[in-house]
Amino acid sequence: MSTTPLTVVRPDGTARGGVIVIQEAFGVTDHIVDVCNRVAAAGWVAVAPHLFHRQDGVTVLDYSDMDSAMAAIGTLKADEVDSDVDAAASALAELGFEPSSIAIVGFCMGGTVAFHTAVRRPLGAAATFYGGGITNGRFGYPAMASVGDALQTPWHGFFGDLDEGIPFQDVETLREVTATAPVATEITRYAHGKHGFHCDDRPAVFDADAAADAWDKTLEWFDAHVAR
């Protein structure tokens, strides 16, 4: 049985809950570790599962190596990713956190995973940053728009209108579908946002204003929905 490697960052003092942080297509990069640090600074225990651990020699990829990133995520399988997410949730459970006290946030492909986790199991809250697969399934998951009405976890999506891989029309379709879910949902769009706008290690796509606003809204969403 494969054991999922986890990056865990704890806050100072008593934690208010746990947050599962799901990587981009480039692995648990310095940026994802920085996100974990931000989560901990806000008072949560952050746990980031390493989704490439079944692939020999693949850990963290350079942002310029898109071919390797595409190859790495092309081998991912939904059931294996789900088991990695559940391993992170189990680690938080061992620290005493019930599912209602756990949130999940994901970026790029991790945003897709966060969304489908919110469909698959009830947690306190979920946030997706520019996760693709709205009209076509990825990694063995169904299209997001086909299951958005079945969300079990309050979900907030963040998308950029200049994302070449996620048309804003698809985002609006997802907004309509998720609005019929039995939990709270929200989508925020950024007119000048590109794919990856939250990653300050990628100057070509980073948007400081959008990143700051989306992060503030993410923490507010967690504060509003995660049980304590």
Active site residues: 108, 163, 195
CA–CA distance, 162 with 4 (Å, rounded to integer): 34
Contact 139, 77 (CB under 8 A): yes
CA–CA distance, 220 with 222 (Å, rounded to integer): 5
Element of type H or E holding 107: strand 102-107
Phi first, then psi, for residue 16 (nearest 5°) are -85, -10
| Full strand arrangement of the beta sheet holding 125-129 | 6-9, 45-49, 18-22, 102-107, 125-129, 155-160, 185-190
